[in-house]
Structure 1
Amino acid sequence: MPRHARGFDLVVARAHLARRDRALGRWMRRLGPVPAPPGWRRPFDPVDALARAILYQQLSGKAAATIVGRVEIAIGSARLHADTLDRVDDATLRACGVSGNKALALRDLARRERLGEIPSPRRMAWMDDAAIVDALVPVRGIGRWTVEILLIFRLGRADVLPLDDLGVRKGLQRVDGLDALPASSALAERSASWGPYRTLAALYLWRVADAAADVALPTPRSQG
């Protein structure tokens, strides 16, 4: 298994998508180049990232950030990890605004970290996308969508397309001028020509959806 770099050549990927999909290419020219997500260049702690993903689920960004801030104060650290989360009991987490289900998810994540079940960034560099998904979805509260977001924004994998993401589907609806949201299966079929750069297609489809939101209601995001 070859080692996977964090990130890929966006110029090459953009040329590939524009050549393979004229409809998407028109939107790409309209929106301009998409910059590399900043997470590709930053140190990456999978446990901390997954803990924050759990806390952000089904909440607005502002509300989730408030709860995360309270948890950081309660544990006395900006790093959410097994050793720091163990400093507080469930009642304290609930007082911070963490739901019972999310507290259970955080405990399961910490337990799996102690058992060595959460791969490190170094280990992930030698794992393919499917292996990372398989390693992380057993964690309570972590679904495929959450791992796919990690693969895109933290690990910079080139060929990831969250098929169940509402924003991605809304973007394709806009690109193709559809009357209704495309099904996940239709999105999978439509995306066949985008490989091996479906990650960049997803980044553009989110931007297309946001552009559409300028004249409509904001596009919801899946929290799967």
Structure 2
Amino acid sequence: MSSSADTPIAKPDYWDEAVAHLIKRDRILKKIIPQHPEVWLTSRGTPFITLARAIVGQQISTKAADAVWNKFIAAVGKRPSPAAVVKTGVQGLRAAGLSQRKAEYVQDLATHFGERRVHPEKWASMPDENVIDELVAIRGIGRWTAEMFLIFNLQRPNILPLDDLGLLRAISLHYFSGEPVSRFEAREVSLAWQPWRTVATWYLWRSLDPIPVQY
């Protein structure tokens, strides 16, 4: 899922303001951010594809998720649609490498979209928590997956995914000398990042893995 070299991916309109704030307010990010120039949060998929990819990638490594996703799109088409996923069915998704549970989850996602039980056309204007409430009604989508959607698809600027192991690991490494970190401690660290917690999170992920995940 790479773009052509002559078509730069636009950065979110708030990115430069957020970077300036974080460099000024946080001594750790002041060191990390300059190590990752000319990269920023990008959004490439439709809401359905972003959510399907997030479900496929749950609890497995980025490399494994990419492999399963490639099998998935081979089964349902390069631009997966809810109708194509429903037509493929759970057994077809199982044959493409998804676990039984993930196959059922992706089917439920496709059904929600196909039957218009969710309203992606309204999400851009809805508050973060309202979007999360609508998403977590879908099987297989918990708060973490909903927050990944808010970050990678809607590009909301102030998401702090406290269930994300990578974020907690980066906070532990950079702010607590590698000691285990609680959600409370992570939230305390994030106070200096407001209102740009998404951007801080993204750079802390980069500190662990320079290659951005694509949804």
TM-score, normalising length: structure 2 = 0.82
Structure 2 unpaired stretches of 5+: 1-10
Contact 1:47/1:118 (8 A) holds in 2:
no
Contact 1:173/1:181 (8 A) holds in 2:
yes
| Larger CA deviation: 154-163 vs 175-184 | 175-184
* Aligned amino acid, residue 146 of structure 1: T
Q: Quote how far apart the aligned CAs of 1:28 are.
A: 3.0
Matched ranges for 1:137-152 at <5 A: 137-152=136-151
Name 1:98's counterpart in structure 2: 98
* Aligned amino acid, residue 158 of structure 1: P
* Aligned amino acid, residue 52 of structure 2: A
**CA deviations over 1:31-60 (Å, ceiling 9, x no partner):** 254622231xx4x42112211221222333
CA RMSD of aligned residues (A): 2.4
Contact 1:7/1:157 (8 A) holds in 2:
no
Aligned residues: 201
Q: Quote how far apart the aligned CAs of 1:177 are.
A: 4.0
Name 2:168's counterpart in structure 1: 169
Q: Quote how far apart the aligned CAs of 1:94 are.
A: 1.7
CA distance in 1, matches of 2:85, 2:47: 15
Q: Does 1:7 align with 2:7?
A: no
Based on CA coordinates, which of the two structures has the bigger radius of gyration?
1
Shift >4 Å, 4+ stretches: none
**Identical pairs, percent:** 36
SS at match of 2:87: coil
Q: Quote how far apart the aligned CAs of 1:129 are.
A: 1.2
Q: Does 1:47 align with 2:48?
A: yes
Contact 2:36/2:206 (8 A) holds in 1:
no
Structure 1 unpaired stretches of 5+: 1-5, 212-220
Contact 2:90/2:107 (8 A) holds in 1:
no
Contact 1:13/1:197 (8 A) holds in 2:
yes
* Aligned amino acid, residue 131 of structure 2: I
